[in-house]
């Protein structure tokens, strides 16, 4: 028997207020024997788990492993209806108020040099921090922020810097509070950005009454009512009513779309005018908006190289800074006879500044915001690693049909040769094709008004691979390719065209021809230009279509190369043969028959076909609007997100390095060190919020 496939769980992590703890919990859970992979997203308070065994057993093991790191953390199964929220805690405000009052009293009392005057304020402000530090030390966690801050402030007490010890703890708690508020605001901003889950569904009952129910309670086939101003709660098909719908939540398009009976509507659309009666086609859990929300949340499990680097960097940075602090405290007094108190104070500054919170919080939060902002533009990015990779692409290979072209055959030219006009020739062919289901027939019929197809069609005969012979109002009409004309003894015109040519004869007299072609998407040319502006060096096309058709489109779009008449396995072989270049290779396809190529590319990008299951499953990035130019938008969001993240890294390391240098020579105080730690983390978090605005 083969190995059983891994199972997956999405777990909420409540009570997690320390980014270092998030990393430690991730490491502890990853070491469990049944766990294949684990990823903790501090910004989203989410644990993504791949495991084997029973769900109940793994939940108990994960909770135990998390509690060994942080006893206050609660791990529980994430439900579909759960939203991203910040933990609410009113106690910090009370602690700050009482602690500040006690500190002010100690400063005003005579004899302020006595340590015990400052002890009440210190215990109120920092008691919880010291308690956590002691608990963590017993667990071998020596380098978290609680331990470092406790050692620094207790050390300040030991050398007689009582007012400064309390002040540092006060400003540390204030900074932590505002930092938590900023992170909470980020979570709520992302949640609000993607808060598209309908609160209720107006379900039409068999007796004609309408009852409001939970979206999860509606079964496939049920009839629902969507009133003006309401969100469409489920994917469905309109059976009555017409309206304008706002699709911006799904596609990023600001222009409303007209819908009428027979049209499909997706969960997340907003009905703007008339009342709609809709038949539910999928349960809520499989609706487009539910999948979008899940994909955005789960993207946090796929970390970008920058995130992984910062995590590794933090493991070594803090111990290294603590070691330097120890050397600063010991070497000058022992080797050069310097004053112990002075150098211990300078070492304490290093302890305060050694926590890498600004990096550990702001980097993943920046990627989280970038992914959320992209989703708001109708671009689903399935991981921070793919978002980061988008900015570095060297080569992009496009499929043709449905990607660069519309994938719908249209009449592009009508050329009469006999006595018929263009309209008469087109109408004759459309009447002859009235009974055919062939795509070419459908495109010819689509070029005329359906109500005008009133001719009597008899003796209908469809010849596979050639065309149609029938009688239209008593005249024998043939519509088809050159082989059909030759069969009837008719010499058709010689036509050089990249499209499909349908020749038309009437009573065995040649009347002319109609050209049907797959037109380029309106933004295809602009997309290629924008990609080149974003630094893409090579744009190529892989297609199963005819050589002449592919060549013509390649010339029109000024592509670097094209490969025609490819079967799916040949597409994969060609993709693998493309020269490897720094920056990576992306493939853009329709996500249905291009799955192997999408999976092989460094970044697989699918046209979403407005809710296609196959597209969403196959690719790393999904463009929900089917517009190739949105790929340039995705690259722009990637570039902006990376710029914000490197701003945060530069800010954190620059300010910390500067304060360390000033502290080592005796210029900076512990207050400056607190700003360099907590203040910079707060600024970095606020800067990360900019990634939400795509």
Active-site residues, by number, are 399
Do residues 176 and 128 make contact, with C-beta atoms less than 8 angstroms apart? no
CA 25 to CA 65: how far, in whole Å? 7
The label of the residue with tokens 């240098």 reads: 661
User: 219 exposed, middle or buried (CB, 10 Å; 0-12, 13-18, 19+)?
Assistant: exposed
Helix/strand/coil percentages in the chain, nearest 5 = 50, 20, 30
Do residues 157 and 165 make contact, with C-beta atoms less than 8 angstroms apart? yes
Tokens of 449: 């008004």
Closest CA to 358 of 153, 647, 72, 107: 647
3-state DSSP call for residue 479? strand
CA 629 to CA 557: how far, in whole Å? 13
Do residues 387 and 374 make contact, with C-beta atoms less than 8 angstroms apart? yes
Query: Packing angle between helix 524-533 and helix 630-664, nearest 10 degrees?
Result: 20
Closest CA to 194 of 322, 291, 63, 97: 291
Measured in whole angstroms, how far is the alpha carbon of residue 355 from the centre of its chain? 30
Do residues 138 and 122 make contact, with C-beta atoms less than 8 angstroms apart? no
Closest CA to 677 of 368, 328, 341, 321: 321
Tokens of 117: 């005057």
Cβ partners under 8 Å of residue 23, min gap 6: 40, 311, 314, 360
Do residues 568 and 596 make contact, with C-beta atoms less than 8 angstroms apart? yes
Do residues 674 and 172 make contact, with C-beta atoms less than 8 angstroms apart? yes
Tokens of 354: 């050694």
Do residues 550 and 528 make contact, with C-beta atoms less than 8 angstroms apart? no
Do residues 243 and 255 make contact, with C-beta atoms less than 8 angstroms apart? no
CA 251 to CA 610: how far, in whole Å? 8
């Amino acid at each position: 028997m083969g190995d059983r496939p891994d199972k997956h769980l999405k777990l909420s992590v409540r009570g997690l207020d320390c980014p270092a703890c998030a990393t430690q919990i991730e490491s502890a859970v990853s070491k469990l024997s049944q766990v294949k992979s684990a990823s903790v997203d501090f910004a989203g308070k989410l644990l993504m788990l791949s495991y084997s065994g029973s769900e109940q057993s793994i939940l108990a093991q994960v909770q135990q492993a998390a509690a060994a790191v942080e006893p206050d953390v609660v791990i529980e199964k994430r439900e579909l209806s759960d939203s991203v929220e910040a933990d609410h805690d009113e106690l910090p405000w009370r602690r700050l108020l009482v602690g500040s009052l006690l500190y002010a009293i100690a400063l005003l009392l005579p004899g302020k040099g006595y340590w015990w005057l400052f002890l009440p304020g210190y215990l109120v402000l920092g008691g919880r921090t010291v308690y956590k530090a002691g608990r963590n030390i017993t667990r071998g966690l020596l380098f978290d922020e609680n331990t470092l801050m406790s050692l620094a402030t207790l050390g300040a007490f030991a050398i007689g810097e009582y007012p400064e010890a309390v002040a540092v703890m006060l400003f540390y708690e204030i900074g932590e509070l505002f930092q938590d508020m900023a992170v909470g605001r980020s979570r709520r901003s992302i949640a609000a950005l993607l808060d598209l889950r309908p609160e209720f569904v107006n379900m039409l009952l068999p007796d004609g009454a309408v009852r409001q129910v939970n979206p999860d309670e509606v079964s496939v086939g049920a009839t629902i009512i969507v009133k003006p101003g309401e969100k469409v709660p489920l994917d469905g098909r309109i059976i009555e009513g017409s309206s304008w719908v706002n699709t911006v939540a799904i596609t990023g398009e600001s222009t409303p779309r007209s819908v009428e009976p027979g049209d499909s509507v997706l969960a997340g659309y907003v009905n703007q005018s008339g009342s709609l009666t809709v038949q539910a086609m999928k349960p809520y859990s499989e609706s487009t908006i539910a999948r979008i929300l899940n994909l955005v949340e789960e993207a946090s499990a796929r970390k970008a190289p920058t995130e992984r680097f910062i995590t590794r960097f933090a493991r070594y940075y803090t111990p290294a800074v603590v070691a330097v602090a120890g050397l600063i405290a010991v070497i000058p007094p022992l080797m050069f006879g310097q004053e112990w108190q002075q150098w211990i104070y300078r070492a304490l500054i290093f302890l305060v500044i050694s926590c890498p919170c600004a990096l550990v919080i702001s980097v993943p939060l920046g990627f989280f915001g970038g992914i959320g902002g992209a989703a708001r533009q109708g671009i689903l990015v399935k991981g921070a690693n793919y978002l980061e990779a988008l900015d570095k692409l060297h080569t992009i290979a496009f499929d043709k049909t449905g990607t660069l072209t519309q994938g719908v055959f249209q009449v592009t030219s009508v050329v009469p040769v006999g006595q018929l006009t263009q309209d008469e020739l087109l109408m004759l062919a459309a009447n002859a094709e009235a009974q055919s289901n062939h795509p070419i027939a459908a495109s010819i019929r689509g070029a005329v008004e359906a109500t005008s197809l009133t001719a009597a069609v008899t003796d209908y005969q469809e010849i596979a691979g050639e065309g149609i012979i029938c009688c239209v109002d008593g005249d024998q009409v043939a519509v088809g390719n050159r082989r059909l004309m030759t069969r009837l003894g008719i010499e058709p015109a010689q036509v050089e065209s990249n499209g499909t040519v349908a020749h038309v004869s009437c009573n065995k007299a040649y009347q002319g021809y109609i050209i049907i072609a797959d037109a380029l998407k309106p933004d295809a040319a602009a997309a290629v230009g924008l990609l080149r502006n974003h630094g893409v060096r090579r744009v190529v096309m892989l297609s199963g279509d005819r050589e002449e058709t592919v060549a013509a489109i390649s010339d029109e779009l000024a592509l670097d190369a094209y490969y025609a008449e490819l079967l799916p396995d040949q597409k994969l072989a060609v993709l693998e043969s493309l020269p490897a270049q720094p920056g990576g290779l992306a493939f853009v396809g329709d996500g249905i028959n291009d799955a192997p190529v999408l999976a092989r590319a460094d970044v697989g990008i699918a046209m979403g076909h407005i809710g296609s299951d196959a597209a969403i499953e196959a690719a790393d990035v999904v463009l929900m609007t089917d517009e190739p130019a949105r790929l340039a938008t995705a690259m722009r969001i990637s570039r902006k997100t990376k710029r914000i993240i490197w701003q945060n890294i530069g800010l954190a390391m620059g300010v910390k390095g500067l304060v360390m240098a000033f502290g080592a020579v005796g210029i900076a105080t512990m207050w400056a060190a607190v700003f360099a730690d907590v203040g910079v983390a707060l600024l970095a978090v606020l800067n990360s919020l900019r990634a939400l605005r795509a």
